[in-house]
Structure 1
Amino acid sequence: MESPLMSLMKSLATLLTLVALAAGAYSPATSAQPAKPAYRTTEVAPGLYSFGAGMAFNAFMVTDEGVVVMDSFDQDFAAASLAAIRKVTDRPIRYLIYSHNHYDHISGGAVFKAAGATILSHATSADWLKRHPSPDVVPPDETWSGARSELKLGSSRIELLYFGANHGEGMTVFRFPRERTIYTVDLVVPKRVAFAYMPDFAPREWERTLAEMDALDFDRVMYAHNAPVGPRTSVADQLRFLRDLRAAISAELEKGTPFMQIPDTVKLPQYAHWDGYEAWLPMNAWRVLLEIAMGV
């Protein structure tokens, strides 16, 4: 029997598709029959890979002592990801690291657990998952805490960075020093406005986090959505969008625009080519407006 969570995730996927169609993000020629994702493996740097398609990309690193995987999404994705890893290497799966607590990113953990992985997450995320268990989410075996930790396997290093409250619980940014790359989940989605009403985001803290991320030493960014990899400038682009949105809302408040009209009044034409602009910009504006006006 399909679990309630998996039913919810499938419904969300359908909703996202409908919203994207309304926003013009998909071609009118798109088939009515859902196609299997065209998953692909991208070698971002020697030993560092992105796997996925469209709305879901995870990351994995092949080290001298085994494989480290970051996020699993759902069971089907995880199985496909494991199969892709096996085409690259037969080394053992040592770790699966959860980026944060949101079920849509970590509901495939059982696949990697069965393959021998130790599941690791930030303590803040683990605490939340303990209080809100899901039948589809395997609890972490180990946790790390504080603002920074480091995982070493052979000659490979992965920095685990926690910037505090910004999105979800225990949001971890992964930095690969030798590869001069970061993997970030949800905090940066290239050429896309924020998702819907920014669920579980604290916009001001998100801006602070992006500014701190932009100060890190790296050359490229691996993403969880929209694309496997892109330039470091995408972090600054995301931050600029949020600051421009906040400035536009503040300007409307100063002009005396009626409160309830502000979200539909705000326009940011410089981002009109970004995914989700027409459908989601008013929702984005509502979220930031409520934070500015009410502190929520």
Structure 2
Amino acid sequence: MPDPRALLFQPLGVPGSGRVRYGAAMALYRDGAISAEVLEVYRIASAHDARDPLEGLRDRGLPLPAHPGQEPLVKALYLAARDYLLTLDHPGAAEVRAGLPADPGSEQAVTARTTAVVDRWLGPALQAMGDSQRPLAQAIGAAAGQLEWAPYSGYPPDEIGPQFPAGHAAASIMGGAAPFAARDFDLGLFLIAPHVLYRDHNHAAPELYAPLTGPHGWRFGPGRPLILKPAHQPVWNPPHQPHLTKVGRVPFLCLFVWTKDVNLLAKVIPADDWPGLEEMQLD
């Protein structure tokens, strides 16, 4: 049976090619590999064999599909992310560097998946990165459709609150079940929709946040003040350090690294001011 991903790239203008592309998109949608929003673009384009659905995806800021025969886009993303992370100065720099080899090894097969948050907000987040990090933004955009995006499911819903579960997604680049294998180490992308509150929490894993957009609000313990930090200012969380993120007007997009204890779950830390923070909108 032909690979549906290859059928997405039927030549434009060939009679019936619009329907073939849409049929392939339907198969990928049933497998959870593309979202309903992406499928709708292919449905609209299917009525015109010469209409390029990729233009519709770009116009809506949706992830572009990767051709099965393309260059290794996820490896290019890994290398771009590594280059960026190694420029950052923070207390965990040596730990992060130790887990990022120049050659990540052979790429493992993962099930590419997207979410509504990724489809809606990844494009605006990449645009917000600006020209200074354009190569990294392009690498993220090119590889996003080959990653397995999903929300973090370790928090009890009544503790993490109403905004965060449907307002975020993450995708591993290197880790136990990632495109590049690593033992007790995780590198990935983390996306949160505008204005969402990621409540106070902590975990055993030492963690680097490398924000690619900003400003966003941070605090490091319930009751402590909210601090605005710009893009490209790294945040290093030692083991068990409480931290909270309040997303600003632009989507929050970061590279994250957990350097050990990656299989130990994060825990929510109670605080009494969450309702006000969830209603707040940062300027």
- Give the alignment's TM-score, normalised by structure 2: 0.28
Normalising by the residue count of structure 1, what TM-score does the alignment of the two structures yield? 0.27
Q: Counting helix residues as a fraction of each chain, which structure ranks higher?
A: 1
